[in-house]
Amino acid sequence: LKADGSIVAWGNNGYEITIVPAPNADFIGIAGGEDHSLGLKADGSIVAWGDNHYGQTNVPPPNTGFVAIAAGNAHSLGLKADGSIIAWGCGLPFNYGQCNVPSPNTAFIAISGGYWHSLGLRADGTIVAWGDNFSGQTNVPAPNTGFVAIAAGYDQSLGLKSDGSIVAWGDNHHGQTNVPAPNGS
């Protein structure tokens, strides 16, 4: 994302994921899924392009009022200004519940899309996780408080605490949840 609001894309162009739809202007955010991309416009709308086999580029109407975006494998997430999350994509055979935002769908301030799971950070510092849980990536460790940022990976999840420490959970076959010491301030 350039300072002028345009997006520069490169790499594998399968599904035309490096071809940003015109007009390539007024973007304030970007997100990349496995084979699709999302761009958040200054007017609060989302532009989506690339693979759409599972509906991940079909932004549901009304396409307005978004403040953040995230992309997973074959699903997309949009955070609305009112703190609710809109999720789309998730067509079969990859529907593991990653688009089923748990109730109450309110007070979210951040979102992240993993491979087949999703994360939402609430204003009270708690994390809500849903979707595929084969590796425990949606089991937020206790105490589920004091988080200020989130990130979702393939089958793992991460949360940054207000004290500067990182909490990681889920798949650890390659050490991806082993946070190196010192962890925190």
Q: Is 16 helix (H, G, I), strand (E, B) or coil?
A: helix
Could you give the C-alpha distances from 40 to 26, 66, 164, 179, in angstroms and in order? 9, 8, 28, 31
Low-confidence ranges of the chain (pLDDT < 50): none
Cβ pair 49, 19 in contact under 8 A: yes
Contacts of 80 (CB under 8 A, 6+ apart): 65, 66, 67, 86
The pTM is what?
Answer: 0.96
What pLDDT does 108 receive?
99
pLDDT tens digits for range 76-116: 999 999 999 999 998 878 799 999 999 999 999 999 999 99
Contacts of 22 (CB under 8 A, 6+ apart): none
Read off the tokens for 110. Answer: 């951040």
What pLDDT does 1 receive?
98
